[in-house]
Amino acid sequence: MLYFVCLIVLPICGIYVQSLSEGWSAFWESIAEPLAWKAVMLTIKLAVIATLINMALGTMIGWVLIRYRFPGRTILNSLVDLPFALPTAVGGLLILLLLGPGSLVGGLAQAIGIQIVFHEPAIVVAMVFVTFPFVIRAIQPLLEELDKSEEEAAYTLGASKAKTFFQVILPTMAPGIASGAMLAFSRGLAEFGAVVLVAGNIPGKTLVASVFIFGEIESNNPQGAAAVSVLLLTLSFLILWIVSMIQSRRSGQ
Amino acid sequence: MSIRRLWIGLTYVVFGLLLIVPLIQIAVGAWSDGAQSFVDALLRPQSLHALMMTGIIVVVVTAINTLFGVMLALYLVRGTWLGGKIKRLLNSIVDLPFAVSPVIGGLMIVLLLGPNTIIGAFFEDIGFKVVYALPGMILATLFVTFPIMVREVMPVLQEIGSQQEEAASMMGAYPWYTFWMVTWPSIRFGVIYGVVLTVARSLGEFGAVLVVSGNIMNKTQTATTLVYQDVENFNVVAANGVALVLAAFSVGLLLLMEWAKKRKEVH
């Protein structure tokens, strides 16, 4: 029990104390620094985009993997977890190799004037890759629980396929999509390994918050690093709290 | 039926683009300059050292986290000496490391135990280096992987209920005996699944370790931070070699995970 407190609680308190150790004004100055602010805003923006993409992809894949039986289904189902098992640095390297200037896709994109690697699209791809399993794993148990007869009843009563989907199936999946998306979002905010390799890390442009923190530590400015960390942490804690609210409400029903 | 075909096709496309093509790419990439350069990349002294460091960290972290994770899960589910409110609070604290960016996790340890702090200076005085050395890296990985085991074991404990354990202790079994004979067989596969996940996570841990270790070649460099350094030095083929080894491990772990999951469901 003591181990638990030392390992988890103490460090988190420590970082809050450190960020405020030189008073509120120093804390605000660190955060209000344009580069820090831009890094945080960029991270939030890209994480939102990545989460939206994952919500769409995850809903589709979760649905297909549960509802349809087709060759290769079990293999695909186990592959879902691959981004969790793969080291994030390896994930970043993969994206670099696949979309980099020397590759087929990278060359094609460059020809039509889109830059991927070392620009925002690559960061989004990295975040999507890393957070891929969350939404799928959150909605699968809900879909398994969903009684097929409800769906069939809707058809029998004359509802169209689209109407059944939006009025019967989607509401069942909604809590799963929401909590999966929240987790994916907070993971996207925190992502470092995959992003640092593909982002190029140009301050004010492609420098995300976690890489910014890393840079501050490297340049021996723990105060600034701690301030931005506290901002990110508070955001993540908020998300975690919302997720547990959603889950406890669902189990309460 | 054509709609069904469309969805299945789309699913295959997403998987192909996002997961399968990258895997093939890394396998091909490592061999692109011939087998010799792949072997060379792996047999560099820094690669061997980095892989060894990763190995040590994985073993130590998995052992400690399994032990304490199972213990904490037992406390949180069965412990009667904790009030309900404290239990709920602790329960939500367990998840915190998931919400903390690994870089921030590393920063916390540097801030608490770095050479400039009270605790850090104390350890330094007795000749025990924490930050920029192996103990700090193990601590960082412990922090990051902490919730995994607790989260795997707790639901199983809740599900099996405490009746059998109570029956055992009523019939005079010692707590230790009760644990091994009654509790352990039912949580076994949950624990195994947790171990596999912990191994995967500590194998791949990058952000926290990078901050804490200082990434000193042949000293505190792990496999993932070596990949990072190779990429930064534009030594992509070498990075690919090490990454392939890591990826192969991950795929192996994934297969183990599937197996453990199936066994878990049977129970």
Residue B58 has a pLDDT of: 92
174-233 of A, contacting B, C-beta below 8 A = 186, 189-193, 196-197, 209-211, 213-214, 217, 222, 225-226, 229, 232-233
Residues B40, B22, single domain; the answer is no
| For residues B105-110, average pLDDT | 84
The full set of domain ranges for chain A reads 34-252
Model confidence over B16-27: pLDDT tens digits?
A: 777 788 778 777
The alpha-helical segments, DSSP class H, found in A112-219 are 120-145, 148-156, 161-164, 170-190, 193-198, 209-218
Is 80 exceeded by the pLDDT of residue B125? no
Can you list the pairs that B188-192 forms with residues at least 24 positions away whose Cβ atoms lie under 8 Å? B188/B267, B189/B260, B189/B263, B189/B264, B189/B267, B190/B152, B190/B153, B190/B155, B190/B156, B190/B264, B191/B66, B191/B70, B191/B149, B191/B152, B191/B153, B192/B260, B192/B263
Q: Chain B closest CA to A97's CA: distance in Å? A: 8
Residue A51 has a pLDDT of: 93
Residues B88, B219, single domain; the answer is yes
11-50 of A, contacting B, C-beta below 8 A = 11-12, 14-15, 18
178-237 of B, contacting A, C-beta below 8 A = 197, 200-201, 203-207, 210-211, 223-225, 227-228, 231, 236
Residues B81, B178, single domain; the answer is yes
Which residue in chain B is spatially nearest to A99 when comparing CA positions? B22
**pTM of this structure:** 0.83
Among B55, B60, B67, smallest CA distance to B135 is for: B60
Residues B90, B16, single domain; the answer is no
Residues B114, B202, single domain; the answer is yes
Place of tokens 């190029």: A200
Q: Considering CB atoms only, which of B97, B205, B239 is closest to A8?
A: B97
Q: Chain B closest CA to A234's CA: distance in Å? A: 9
Residue A213 has a pLDDT of: 85
Which tokens go with A216?
A: 């501050």
Q: Considering CB atoms only, which of A15, A98, A161 is closest to B104?
A: A15
User: Mind giving me the DSSP string for A11-26?
Assistant: HHHHHHHHHHTTHHHH
Which residues in chain B have Cβ-Cβ distances shorter than 8 Å to A1?
72, 75
121-180 of A, contacting B, C-beta below 8 A = 128-129, 132, 161
What sign results for the dihedral spanned by CA atoms A92, B259, B58, B92? positive
Model confidence over B70-88: pLDDT tens digits?
A: 888 888 887 776 677 777 7
Distance in angstroms (rounded) separating the CA atoms of residues A143 and A221: 48
Look at chain B and report how many structural domains it folds into: 2
Q: Which amino acid is at B45?
A: P
Cross-chain residue pair B101–A239, CB shorter than 8 Å = no
Residues B127, B233, single domain; the answer is yes
**Which CATH number fits the domain that encloses residue B215?**
1.10.3720.10
The SS3 call for residue B214 is coil
CATH number of the domain located at residue range(s) A34-252 in this protein: 1.10.3720.10
Distance in angstroms (rounded) separating the CA atoms of residues A134 and A179: 9
Residues B103, B209, single domain; the answer is yes
Q: Chain A closest CA to B186's CA: distance in Å? A: 22
Which tokens go with A24?
A: 């509120």
Which tokens go with A74?
A: 């079990």
Residues B24, B81, single domain; the answer is no
> Do A1 and B76 touch, CB atoms closer than 8 A?
no
Which residues in chain A have Cβ-Cβ distances shorter than 8 Å to B103?
190, 192, 210-211, 213-214, 217, 229
ipTM of the complex: 0.79
- List chain A pLDDT tens, one digit each, 253 residues: 666 667 777 777 777 777 777 667 777 777 777 888 888 888 899 999 999 999 998 888 888 888 888 887 888 888 888 888 888 888 888 888 888 776 777 677 777 777 777 788 888 888 998 888 888 888 888 888 777 777 778 778 877 777 877 887 888 888 888 888 988 888 888 888 888 888 777 777 778 888 888 888 888 777 778 888 888 888 888 888 887 777 777 665 4
Residues B19, B67, single domain; the answer is no
Residues B8, B39, single domain; the answer is no
How far from the centroid of its chain's Cα atoms is residue B129's Cα? 23
Which tokens go with A7?
A: 């390992």
Residues B26, B151, single domain; the answer is no
Q: Which domain holds residue B230?
A: 34-266
Cross-chain residue pair B255–A189, CB shorter than 8 Å = no
